[in-house]
A and B are shown apart, each in its own frame.
Chain A
Amino acid sequence: MSRDTKTIIVTGAGGVGKTTISAAMAVRMAGPNRRTVVMTVDPARRLADALDLHALSNEPTPVPDVTGLWASTLDASASWEGVVHRYSDPEVADRLLKNHYFRAIADRFPAAQAFAATETMSTMIESGQWDAIVVDTPPSAGGLDFFLAPSQTADLVGGKLLHWLTGAQLPGRRFLYRFTGRPILKIADTILGGPLLEDVAEFLLDLRTMYDRLAARAATIQLHQQRATTVVVTTADPAPMTEVLRFFEELTEVEVEPSAVLLNRALPAAWADAARSPIRDIPDAEVRAVLKANLVRWGGESRRQASSMEGIAGRYGLPLLTVPWMAEPPMAVENLALLLNEVTGLDDLL
């Protein structure tokens, strides 16, 4: 490794603004002396345009008008191809990549996209080309998949099914013939109406040959994750708040300690008190009444936000960062930096 890379993992439930926050952090971190890359997952069209991202690619491209900033959009399928090439023998890799179950698994295994993201992140860290990496995580299982994916993937490739069926630790190809003769498989084929199980078993046998190398890789990825700065993004809406509480409980199980909680769409704390005071400086009675009623509603939200967030940040002893609620999330690159301008405590993390 030619340099010490600062890695920020931005996680949280779906729909809370992770991608925009990640991009904004990266804009803030990048500079002539700090080569920074932001790895996005499924950015909104306007944000993708602003970052000049037009297709899925794990290869970072420079962001126009921001010195030192590159961006990429996760291509899970390409990440998996890379994994297969790197961790299996060439002959096996060819067979795997031609197998239609391989695509199906890469597309549908819930942790597959998350594993692709962790693998791509680790490759970037190890390349030694970056001073800073900001990782936007795929929105599954409230963000937890990103941390569980390395071990889950190793388990899958480890071949629980094969192990159970063959009883062998490292079944070779010759086992397949014995194995297809087993009565259990005949029954399965009768029910399933075809040699589906046999096909899948052959595929899993191939995958199994990657296990040792992939398990070692998974352990390395977990180290990268534990060394990174993890920021949990949430809004104060009841559903994401419930999810985030559960997320925190589960994070401790994977030995990841978040560095901060970031409340997106935060409302000014002053609105809560202001909503209780009479308005004197608006002469028009109708305008005054409407704005008073409106402030009472938003002030109540502000109070609710504060009490929910104090609960989380207090319980876990974490710094709480707040990003103000904006009517239209900023999409132009220069506005992205503004989004985080008034966020106190942020620069200590970055």
Chain B
Amino acid sequence: MLDRRLLFVSGKGGVGKSAVAAALGIVAARRGKRVLAISMTDPVGLAAHFGVPDLTYDPLQIRPGLYAALVDRSRALDEYLGLQLHVVRSLPTRQLSNALSVLADTAPGIREIVTMGKPIFEVWREEWDLVIVDAPALGQLQSYLAAPQTITGLVPTGAVQEQAERLESTLSDPAVSGLLLVTIPEELAILETREAIAQMDAQRQILIAGVVANRVLEPLGISAKAIEEVPDGPPRAAGVLHSRLVAAQSDWLESIPDDPRLPFLFGFHTPAEVAERLAEICEAFA
């Protein structure tokens, strides 16, 4: 999973995608890779899981080999215009980018391609061994993945169109890019994940590199009947809750690929502790 150059991590809101993205960044850096973890739209999640108050457009070193950043759309647009489209310096780019940054918030495809473009530019720069992207939640992901095609359709020629085609080909190259879906074994998250898998299979914008189920509970190892025969009280109540949750989870787990599973973590207080613990667990399989 960490052998690619560009890994997008997405999932339904609340399933722990930022935690998994942060954990994989920690694992890759420990293995000696130079890693950039970048959040596309969420200013909070990745920062919290790295235990820092905020992220900025300029990469912040989290630990040796691991850097983290946040896509700031107006800075990304400047970069897109200046570096990627080779807008000649003498043009009033400041003015132009002021106007375009408002456009970037409104015109279809522009805001998405600028946001999508940033992590891909970082891959092209060849400064990182791995770029891990804390991508938008599943509901919005599709419009971002489709952005290069949207642009190609809207703009028939020109530098923007060439750029969009190049983004599209990096994204769809399975040797370079992959999408990791994070889910939890509950109804809404599993149904959304299955829909996303079907959609990605049909549209082929990016290869699904894996489906990770998070917060999976271990069976207790004694029968439900043995638990229910115990006298009333907290030991029984906690046992019943646990075994019912396990039963409900196992039904939902059956309907997704049998990829790595991450355990429910008991007793963790901060997102940073969660990411650190998940990293230890991920060492085993990533």
Contact = CB atoms under 8 A, between A and B. Distances in A.
Contact of B95 (A107, A160, A184, A246): A184
B19 interface: yes
Contact of A275 (B103, B112, B156, B234): B234
A349 interface: no
A117 to B, nearest CB: 14
B248 A297 contact: no
Interface string B173-184: 000000000001
A291 B239 contact: yes
A161 interface: yes
Consensus secondary structure, chain B interface:
helix
Given A238-B268, A290-B222, A14 B14 contact: yes
Interface stretch (A53-61, A128-136, A224-232, A277-285): A277-285
A187 B159 CA distance: 12
A140 to B, nearest CB: 8
Consensus secondary structure, chain A interface:
helix
Contacts of A194: 154-158
B98 A239 contact: no
Contacts of B112: 108
Contact of A240 (B14, B106, B238, B248): B14
Interface string B68-91: 000000000000010001010001
Contacts of B107: 101, 104, 196-197, 200
Nearest to A200: B107
Given A291-B239, A298-B242, A188 B266 contact: no
B237 interface: yes
Interface stretch (A22-30, A266-274, A337-345): A266-274
Contact of B269 (A45, A238, A240, A281): A238
B271 interface: yes
**Interface footprint category on A:** 35 or more
A192 B154 CA distance: 10
B160 A191 contact: yes
Nearest to B246: A327
Contact of B12 (A14, A107, A160, A291): A14
A300 interface: yes
A286 B222 CA distance: 8
Contact of B239 (A46, A109, A284, A294): A294
A160 B98 CA distance: 10
B99 A161 contact: yes
Contacts of B16: 239
Q: Which 5 A-B pairs have the closest CB atoms?
A: A193-B158, A15-B14, A14-B13, A327-B244, A104-B108
Interface of B: 12-16, 18-19, 44-45, 48-49, 81, 85, 87, 91-92, 95-96, 98-100, 102-103, 105-109, 111-112, 137, 143, 154-161, 184, 187-189, 191, 220-222, 226-227, 230-231, 233-239, 241-242, 244-245, 247-248, 266-271, 273-274
27 contacts: A14-B14, A44-B187, A44-B191, A101-B108, A104-B108, A107-B143, A139-B13, A139-B14, A156-B106, A161-B99, A164-B102, A191-B85, A191-B158, A193-B158, A193-B159, A193-B161, A197-B103, A238-B271, A239-B45, A268-B237, A270-B234, A291-B227, A294-B239, A294-B242, A304-B268, A327-B245, A328-B244
Given A194-B154, A299-B238, 20 more contacts: A13-B13, A15-B15, A15-B184, A15-B188, A101-B108, A139-B13, A160-B102, A161-B106, A187-B92, A193-B158, A193-B159, A239-B16, A242-B48, A271-B234, A271-B237, A281-B233, A287-B226, A294-B238, A308-B269, A328-B248
